[in-house]
Amino acid sequence: MKTSAIYLFLILAVLQTGCKDKITEIFVANSPTYMTYKDMRLAVKQSAASPLVNPGKIYFKDQYIFIVEEMKGIHVFDNTNPSSPINLTYIELPGIADIAIKGNILYADSYVDMVAVDIANLTAIKEVGRVQDVLPYTLPPYDEKYPLAQIDEQKGVVAGWEIKEVKQEINTSYYPVYRDWESGKTADVNTGGGNGGVSPNGVGIGGSMARFGIYLNTLFAIDNTTLHIFSITTPETPIFKKDFNAGWSIETLFTVGDKMFLGSQSGMRIYDISIPNSPLYICDFWHMTGCDPVVVNGNYAYITLRGGNNCGNNVNQLVVVSIAEITKPIELKTYPMEGPYGLGIDGNTLFICDGDAGLKIFDVTDPFTITQHLLAQFPDIQTYDVIPVKGLLIMIGDDGLYQYDYSNIKDIRLLSKIGLN
């Protein structure tokens, strides 16, 4: 009898718990607006040239500059005359954050998809390939003064936000923030001009904030922890090969020959990619926590650390690392900076986008005396990333695209600026 009473009590307790009202909350939040997956996959198209509004990654191939309009599309400029670049056309591509180009095929992320776009004829740009549902579900930037409302992935991708009052069940699900994909320098650069379009040869150049890279017939795309690997043996038809666990807090990707250097918030991780589908871990170089792009030239790696925001410590530095023995990186010297973002290297000339301090250019012949050899500084420019190539520096900042002639390192000159709308 006693046992039966206990069972009855337990049953009643379960029934009462099941009958309770679900807990809800009412609050002002970023409420998502959606684009269906079908509409997203029909949205890639060419349109008339448009002004820069919210530029992100930059990429250079042949005589063309490609500038990502964050989450919206790609501006294409003819840079035959860097003193007067021509805004040629615009590629509408929702959810884009990064690009890479091999031959005349441009690869870009479109929310959860990887897309291939034929740019051989810049008057007839068209999508030619797509790998669906291969990238993480990510969100566009939102107003951080307000929390996020619930996200329903079945409705499609989040195309934007409305700040409004919402009522919902208490939700503790995690959703990734905006994918700050950052582009990267690649091997086999071709800087020859095309004829009305991008040539079928070579690979372009991205900035140091890279999350895309190309080696031989393989395209790499990195997110926070995962290296997504695609075969581009048939360029217009990328094929997803595998996901590879590359570490944690990964921010940038830089390839030199058959080596890949990943910048994370806690260090630099080096892989051998001579067999591209099976990256082989070589070693780690650890540093203080900070946002971390890396560029490499010869036996040296140059890493900028930026503190504040979500980057951890308030440390702002340039770190010079010897990679003469690739399995044992050695820190040679650390230099204080203001708030560095991207950087670029051309021979012994190092370009650093240093926050409020603007663009700084150093001679790095002696890695132990770099700050004693400041070649030039262009202050009062909020710079983001740079691409140095054969005496021409392409730089993107908060207020537009800048180009400098550094062919005479003693007389570095501004050639042009394209401002924002």
CATH number at residue 363: 2.120.10.30
What domain range includes position 363? 292-421
Q: Give 316-351 pLDDT, tens digit per residue.
A: 999 999 999 999 999 999 999 999 999 999 999 999
On whether both 185 and 58 belong to a single domain, the answer is yes
On whether both 193 and 296 belong to a single domain, the answer is no
For residue 231, being part of any structural domain is answered with: no
Q: What angle do CA 203, 131, 248 make, to 5 degrees?
A: 75
Query: What pLDDT is attached to residue 265?
Result: 82
On whether both 169 and 303 belong to a single domain, the answer is no
On whether both 172 and 38 belong to a single domain, the answer is yes
Residue found by looking up tokens 């198209």 in the block: 45
Q: State which of 184, 208, 232 marks the end of a domain.
A: 208
Cβ contact 214:186 at 8 Å: yes
Query: What pLDDT is attached to residue 290?
Result: 56
Residue partners of 399: CB distance under 8 A and separation at least 6: 381, 382, 419, 420
Residue partners of 386: CB distance under 8 A and separation at least 6: 207, 208, 342, 343, 344, 351, 353, 359, 393, 394, 395, 396
For residue 281, being part of any structural domain is answered with: no
On whether both 166 and 43 belong to a single domain, the answer is yes
For residue 312, being part of any structural domain is answered with: yes
For residue 335, being part of any structural domain is answered with: yes
Sort strands 413-419 and 400-405 into parallel, antiparallel or unpaired: antiparallel
Report which of 256, 242, 168 is spatially closest to residue 208, judged by C-alpha positions.
256
Whole-number average pLDDT of the chain: 87
pTM: 0.88
For residue 265, being part of any structural domain is answered with: no
On whether both 203 and 296 belong to a single domain, the answer is no
* DSSP secondary structure of 241-293: EEEEE--SSEEEEEEETTEEEEEESSEEEEEE-SSTTS-EEEEEEE--SSB--
Query: What pLDDT is attached to residue 24?
Result: 78
Work out how many domains the chain is built from and give that number. Answer: 2
On whether both 329 and 188 belong to a single domain, the answer is no
For residue 32, being part of any structural domain is answered with: yes
On whether both 314 and 180 belong to a single domain, the answer is no
Give me the amino acid identity at 1. M
Q: State which of 208, 225, 251 marks the end of a domain.
A: 208
Most confident of 22-31, 93-102, 143-152, 284-293: 93-102
Pick 115 or 196 by higher pLDDT. Answer: 115
Q: State which of 208, 230, 263 marks the end of a domain.
A: 208
pLDDT band at 197 (very low <50, low <70, confident <90, very high): low
For residue 321, being part of any structural domain is answered with: yes
Q: Give 380-413 pLDDT, tens digit per residue.
A: 888 999 999 999 999 999 899 999 999 999 999 9
For residue 7, being part of any structural domain is answered with: no
Pick 218 or 210 by higher pLDDT. Answer: 218
